[in-house]
Structure 1
Amino acid sequence: MPAPPPPPSIALSILLLRAAVSSALGLDSSTPKHQAPIVTHLRVPGTGKIGVNLGKKTTAMPAGCGIVAVKEGDEFRDSFLDAVQGEMEELIKANHSVKSFKVTRQVYEAKFGKIGYDESNSGVVDTKKKKKKKPKKDKDGKEIIEPEVDPMTEVLDVVYVQNVCFGVAAGPVCASTGEIGEVAIGRGERDSMVVLGRDCSVTVQFTVGGLEAAAAAALGEEEMNAIDLQSDKGAYPTEGSLGKHGSALNDKFSAPATTVEDVAVGIEKAIIEENAEMVVNPWDVAGEIDYTKLIEKFGSQEIDAALLARIESAIKKIGKVDTLHPWIRRSIFFSHRDMNKILDCVESGKPFYLYTGRGPSSAAMHLGHLVPFMMTRWLQEAFDVPLVVQMTDDEKYLWKGVYNDGDDNLDHYRGLTIENAKDIIACGFIKEKTFLFSDCEYVGLMYPNIVRIWKSVTYSTAKAMFGFEGGSNIGQSAFPAIQAAPSFPSSFPVVLDAGRDSKMACLIPCAIDQDPYFRMTRDVAHKLTPKDHPLGGKPALFHSKFFPPLQGAAGKMSSSDDSSAIFLTDDSDEIARKIKSYAYSGGQETSKLQKEKGANLEMDVSYQWLRFFLDDDAELEKIGKDYGSGSGEFWATGMVKNRLIGILQEMVKKHQERRAKVTNEVVREWMEERKLSF
């Protein structure tokens, strides 16, 4: 699998440094420069190293061409690094806004021309420059099989820095250049060098400070050492051109794209307005999400009016809640598998349980992570049923962990399990009916079912469903069975008092991107349960839409991009700052236009977030009517943002107060194997 991306400030600094190098060498900085991912060789937190290959010597190169400037004190080298440092300081000081969007490689290349793929999985390279690499070998001399990723399904981070540059970044980036804080160019003998002449290459080592420094340091040196992307050898555009991508780009638009602003318009037109190819799987969500098409693609069923009526009737008979959850009424939970059969169980008095989970990848969860848990809490209360919560610390280690000669950080993810469990408990679940478990600790009791699932699923099926390739470690290939096992009550002989003859049904509330795991599960379920199981052994599913990031109402919030999310650790001031600074507005550019045309509610993040967190249907309808028409109390973006800020500040504060009462000992009590009450 690909190495984890660098922190957002370093990913953005890489693009800016290439532009700064271009300007320092006298190239036309007003010309858009297509840039590919390049070196981020992070050996200590907060540092990086880039390699820029400028292509063949051209008339655009300065008189210093032919000089090899490596050693500290070289006059040309030092003056060049001073110029690069000055360019970077100006770019940061200017606080240019940054637009970023995810797009599949296939769509990107269709719009901007062919880009070669580096099979080392490090990024994009120029195929003409690519050299065949010697196979890597381990300490015993055995060849290391590199990951194989289909470049046509790869998801790229495309970035446009206003009035500066555009390109493909090495990962998510900051929302503005000012967020980087500072960039210090390395001056030591091995830090930076300039080799002009035949190769026309520049290497610059740098250290990033500012907002990302603490976050980078928090990752720890082990995790940083895992980020070791190789340099590309792509030709850098020369003066007055768009390099090898210029003709392909210009062919796509009616007028030649000769300014950065033209390129930005072109990118938005090609990628946003024309809707980049939709990608939804357990690891990547990209493009404009069309939920109707997603239902067709996955083969699930829409939650229609008839099903809503059945759910409402069932919960009213149970008597624990008296109305449907707003997320069900508003089609935020929009798709299902066999929910009708779960209601059949309810009406006939047959038992069922809830199963959901969390992959602990960071200590701080964000609002998007809460969505399935808040829905699950409501379902637990409404149907008065038990719940199991799987903490997949094993999964996160297999995909993101570090292993080097016996030294690993598995315990890091086991520690995150405890921290994330505190947030889950703070959601308000019923302790007597809830069991949280770590895969690393509990897997033994699930193992018989895991083995049965392994036996039932061919590797060809797993490859087709999950995209496993030769470079996937064997743990990744085996993991889907571990996520599938809690779907069967016999995986909990004590907690659910269930044996292999149990007919207890399972309902899984989850985001739609997790569906592939359970499609596989449903295909083999009949082999693990009694023949007269009410759902044929299959788990039922209740799918949610994605909670949108601050930068746009389409897509999925990311914990790797601080500016895309409100975290449960954010204070009131930080919540207000993020909403005001980053929440994408569907309003018009001027007050006059807003009053004439109103806002695009589908594109407005603040309004879409209110659909999640404003319970009052009447107030939500009023805000939508006012904002959508540009009239009334909530006619403008500022009013809508302020209402959202107030709701989130109160909600997050209450969550933090509940979480503060959850100690490590309390978590252990919730994770103790015990028979649940049902």
Structure 2
Amino acid sequence: MATPTPSQSLALILLRASLSRSLGFSPVRSTLSDVISAPPTSCSFGAPLIMPNGVLKLSVNLGKKTAANPSGECLAHVTTSSDFRAQLLSLVQSNLDNLVASDLPVTNRRCTRREYEAVNGLALGMNGGTIRTAKKKKKKPKKDEDGNVIPEPPYDAGDDVLYVTRVDGVAYGVGMSPSAGRTGAAGRITVATGEKDSQVTVGRYIEVVVKVQCEVQDGEGGEVEEGIEGGGWETEVDGSMGVGGEVLMRKEVEEIAEKVEEMEVKEVKGEMVVNPWDVSGKIDYNKLVEQFGSVRIDEAMLERLLATVKKIGKVTELHPWIRRGIFFSHRDLSRILDLVDAGKPFYLYTGRGPSSAAMHLGHLVPFMMTAWLQRAFDVPLVVQMTDDEKFIWKGEYKDGDDNLDYFRGLTRENARDIISCGFIKEKTFIFSDCDYVGSMYPNIVRIWKSVTYATAQAMFGFNKHNIGQPAFPAIQAAPSFPSSFPVVLGQGRDSEMACLIPCAIDQDPYFRMTRDVAHKMVPRTHPLGGKPALFHSKFFPPLQGASGKMSSSDDNSAIFLTDSPSQIKQKIMGHAFSGGHETAKEQKEKGADLDADVSYQWLRFFLEDDEKLELIGKDYGSGSGEYWATGMVKKELIAILQDMVAKHQERRKEVTDEVVDEWMAVRKLDF
């Protein structure tokens, strides 16, 4: 019998609640027993499992498909179709995310099995409703010196210690260990979407099996009270934190996307926070420019930039993101243009921290911009994959092993998406820090020598961190210097080659630090004093809108490059925050708030036709014309994203392991 960690116990209880909500029923009694009916729907859950690989598994039997009861009638729509399964798992993930994000208090009580059964008036069965391990090995009997089996003392299951956990209005469960004290302590709970993992089976009986991985698997349990009071601790699950519910009662799965309940988005209060690891609050870009000391891209800069790229002749107009102010701030961009006018070389540098196998649209923004810059200026590019950073911040040790190789594997998966963005292979080098750091190490050491810990602490807020974290900024700074690429760029310490870095503005602190010490890394004749130039973008907003930026840890805040057309439709229709009004009358009278409306803001990124974007903004903002309503704007966005993601997926299919090896090979770039 495996004893679950507090976060695993909590994850299984939250999974129970999420499954209930997503399938459209609210169990009154939510004990985690082998088979406990939950009237009036006659649905029952199996005992949860901790698989050998740490994956958590929970199954629910929805009863006979043809049963003449509320369960049979309301769940008759359940099918084994991939679309239905994808929609269901998406709702389960959404509900899990909402429950974790709500950070609700959790209550634990300790009792014996006998006490529990006496108070609740039911038998828990052999597993006692507790979590058990899959494929449990049978113990070998103990023997004495003569080889005789020593009989085990009589086992009284009534003495088993159980922990009863309750989240008011959400879930109730019995386990072998106390759960964490708040739902937020469960961390990221990720639904396994593979066909051999989470399943929907429709035969004589309907069964749903969901597997999840709990990212946080240690920590302390919440406070524990002694004894059971007040009967079965029955709790009505009101569904107020859930999405889905009646949506999945419909037989036409295609209508799910148009009916998913929009969750209330509460404005994040408090001051704006922008740093490499946290972006929150309402973002004031004017204030950021002032605080960071960068320069706004004005009309004069736009005119000069356009004139320069036209002269080179590779493109004929500026990228829409530049024209529309999405890339809005810079450092020394004018000096880069001076170098171009003088016929002197520069190179591009950007990067990616591989935290998930599936990248989302927000991750594509700097790469799509960088691909345009590479074509426009016909210059080389280096792409840093910071698998070392992700391990330093998010790595884990378990059973004498670590997951560094997991992040190294993500590097190659993310490289496939990056290659699919349209870069010029002969001019592009993608590298893993873990593999390439030796070539950069002399420069890393020089940067370490040049930056005091007090400076790093003031700039990045380092305090109680592992020693790798305050050391890492030097590793991200090193590619800013061409001498870090003696083969790839063919440059030594005497190089005067400049560097331009397109990035979101939250990465600016790394390069402010770099610029402060850059003069120590290059010859005195370097045109920028060794300082890398920066080209800053605004943040790509999450579907929920309001504050911050899109996150990989919240599936329903993002459109991922692995999403299907139906998933894209469901996410936009169900989760994209609307700046419109609740009634048609109000919308036509007042029009939409374009700054708050996520669908319109996303169209600013991905609708290339300036005239059509202007028309949509005019109609939607005034509540008149063809695009007066939210649904029409969302429909336009869905079509664009479905086409864009599908084309990306087709390009990615062509990126084999051999192709990745070629792009990541240390070789002289063509420039």
TM-score normalised to structure 1 length: 0.68
Deviation for aligned residue 1:52: 6.7
Residue in 2 that maps onto 1:615: 608
Query: For each residue in 1:490-541, what CA deviation from the matched residue of structure 2 results, as whole angstroms up to 9, or x when unmatched?
Result: 0000111100000000000001111111111111000001111111100000
Shift of 1:547: 0.5
Aligned with 1:451 (options 445, 450, 454)? 445
Structure 1: any 5+ residue segments left out of the alignment?
Answer: 26-40, 56-64, 83-160, 166-176, 178-182, 194-200, 236-259, 262-266
Give the match for residue 400 of structure 1.
Answer: 394
Deviation at 1:46, TM superposition (A): 3.3
| 8 Å contact from structure 1 (residues 52, 233) kept in 2 | no
Checking the alignment, whether the CA contact within 8 Å between 1:314 and 1:347 is kept in structure 2 is yes
Matched, 1:44 2:54: yes
Q: In the alignment, is the contact (CA less than 8 A) between 1:423 and 1:659 conserved in 2?
A: yes
Conserved? CA contact 1:558–1:565, under 8 Å = yes
Letter in 2 for 1:227: Q
Counterpart of 2:586 (choices 581, 593, 617) is 593
The aligned amino acid for 1:350 is K
| Structure 1 CA distance for aligned equivalents of residues 469 and 264 of structure 2 | 36
Q: Do 2:9 and 2:178's aligned partners in 1 also have CA atoms closer than 8 Å?
A: no
Matches of 1:410 and 1:350, distance apart in 2:
40
The structure-2 alpha-carbon separation of the partners of 1:8 and 1:430, relative to structure 1 and needing over 3 Å to count, comes to: farther
**2:551 paired with 1:551:** no
Percent identity over paired residues: 64
- Structure 2 CA distance for partners of 1:78 and 1:640, relative to 1, 3 Å: farther
Deviation at 1:69, TM superposition (A): 4.6
By how many angstroms is 1:350 displaced? 1.3
The residue number in structure 1 matching 2:556 is: 563
Q: 1:212 aligns with which of 191, 197, 217?
A: 191
**Structure 1 CA distance, aligned partners of 2:438 and 2:558?**
36
**Distance in 1 of aligned mates of 2:357 and 2:548:** 23
Equivalent position SS for 2:308: helix
SS at match of 2:443: helix
The one-letter amino acid paired with 2:55 is P
Hey, what's the Cα distance between the residues in 1 that align with 2:478 and 2:392? Answer: 18
1-structure distance, mates of 2:13, 2:288: 31
Quote the offset at 1:314 in angstroms: 0.5
Match of 1:671 among 634, 653, 664: 664
Q: How does 1:278-289 map to 2 (within 5 A)?
A: 278-289=272-283
The letter of the residue matching 1:46 is L
Other structure's SS at 2:431 match: strand
Q: Report the counterpart of residue 307 of structure 1 in structure 2.
A: 301
User: Deviation of residue 191 (structure 1)?
Assistant: 5.2
User: Does the 8 A contact of 2:496 with 2:527 survive in 1?
Assistant: yes
Q: Cα 1:10–1:338, aligned 2, differ >3 Å: closer, same or farther?
A: farther
The Cα offsets for residues 267-291 of structure 1, whole Å up to 9 and x where unpaired, read as: 999x728x42111111111111111
* Alpha-carbon distance change, 217 to 548 in structure 1, aligned in 2, over 3 angstroms: farther
Question: Is contact 1:44–1:225 with CA below 8 Å preserved after alignment?
Answer: no
Aligned to 2:572: 579
Q: How does 1:363-382 map to 2 (within 5 A)?
A: 363-382=357-376
SS of 1:294 mapped into structure 2: helix
Whether the 8 Å contact between 1:548 and 1:605 is mirrored in structure 2 is: yes
CA gap 1:587/1:202 in 2 versus in 1, 3 angstroms:
closer
1:650 aligns with 2:660: no
Aligned in 2, Cα 1:279/1:234: closer, same or farther, shift over 3 Å? Answer: farther
Provide the C-alpha distance between the structure 1 equivalents of 2:8 and 2:362, rounded to a whole number of angstroms. Answer: 22
Q: What SS does the corresponding residue of 1:490 show, helix, strand or coil?
A: helix
Q: What is the CA distance between 1:466 and its match in structure 2? A: 1.3
Two-structure CA RMSD over aligned residues (Å): 4.2
> Who is 2:403 aligned against?
409
| 1:611–1:410 Cα change, 3 Å | same
In the alignment, residue 564 of structure 2 is paired with which amino acid?
D
Counterpart residue number, 1:624: 617
Which of 98, 119, 130 is the aligned partner of 1:76? 119
Query: Judging changes above 3 Å, is the alpha-carbon distance between structure 1 residues 489 and 24 closer, same or farther for their aligned structure 2 residues?
Result: closer
- Asked if 1:277 is matched to 2:300, the reply is no
Distance 1:502 1:299 in 2: 27
Q: For 1:111-131, what per-residue CA distance to the aligned partner results, in whole angstroms no more than 9, with x for missing partners?
A: xxxxxxxxxxxxxxxxxxxxx
What is the one-letter code of the residue matched to 2:411?
A: T
Deviations 1:381-426 (A, max 9, x none): 0011100000111111111111246411111111111110000000
Question: Which residue identity does 2:444 align to in structure 1?
Answer: I
How many angstroms does 1:554 deviate by?
3.1
Conserved 8 A contact 2:11-2:214 = no
Contact 1:372 1:509 in 2 (8 A): yes
The higher radius of gyration belongs to 2
1:516 is matched with which residue?
509
1:431-486 per-residue CA deviation (whole Å, 9 max, x = no partner) reads 0100000111111110000000000011111111112123x111112111100000
- The answer to whether the Cα contact below 8 Å between 1:226 and 1:402 also exists between their aligned partners in 2 is no
Q: Which residue of 1 aligns with 2:528?
A: 535
Are the counterparts in 1 of residues 276 and 507 from structure 2 also a CA contact under 8 Å? yes
Residues 627 and 635, structure 1, Cα contact 8 Å, conserved in 2: yes
1:424 pairs with 2:418 = yes
Q: Is the CA contact 2:380–2:428 (under 8 Å) kept in the aligned structure 1? A: yes
- Classify 1:630/1:5 alpha carbon distance in 2 versus 1 (closer, same or farther; 3 Å): farther
Once the two structures are superposed, the pairs formed by residues 9-20 of structure 1 within 5 Å of their partners are: none
Which residue among 290, 298, 317 is the counterpart of 1:323?
A: 317
SS of the residue 2:191 aligns to: helix
2:329 counterpart SS class: strand
SS in 1 for 2:562: coil
Q: Which residue of 1 aligns with 2:146?
A: none
| 1:24–1:80 CA contact under 8 A, matched in 2 | no
Aligned residues: 511
What is residue 219 of structure 2 aligned with on the other side?
Answer: 229
Amino acid at match of 1:276: G
Contact 2:57 2:212 in 1 (8 A): no
Which residue is equivalent to 2:173? 185
Question: CA 1:16 to 1:497, structure 2 compared with 1: closer, same or farther past 3 Å?
Answer: closer
Decide which of 584, 595, 598 is 1:605's aligned counterpart.
Answer: 598
SS at match of 1:228: coil
- Contact 2:7 2:218 (8 Å CA) reproduced: no
2-structure distance, mates of 1:491, 1:4: 46
The code of the aligned residue for 2:284 comes to D
Letter in 1 for 2:277: W
- Cα displacement string for residues 193-244 of structure 1 (whole angstroms, at most 9, x for unaligned residues): 9xxxxxxx9999xx99x9825489999x998575323234499xxxxxxxxx
Alignment of 1:410-489 (within 5 A): 410-470=404-464, 472-489=465-482
Cα displacement string for residues 315-354 of structure 1 (whole angstroms, at most 9, x for unaligned residues): 0100000001000011101111111111111111111000
TM-score (norm 2): 0.69
Deviation string 1:279-316 (CA, Å, 9 cap, x unpaired) is: 11111111111111111111111111111111111101
Separation in 2, partners of 1:217, 1:484 = 43
Q: Distance in 1 between matches of 2:348 and 2:119?
A: 67
Report the CA distance shift for 1:415/1:192 in structure 2 as closer, same or farther (over 3 A). closer
Aligned partner of 1:476: which letter? Q
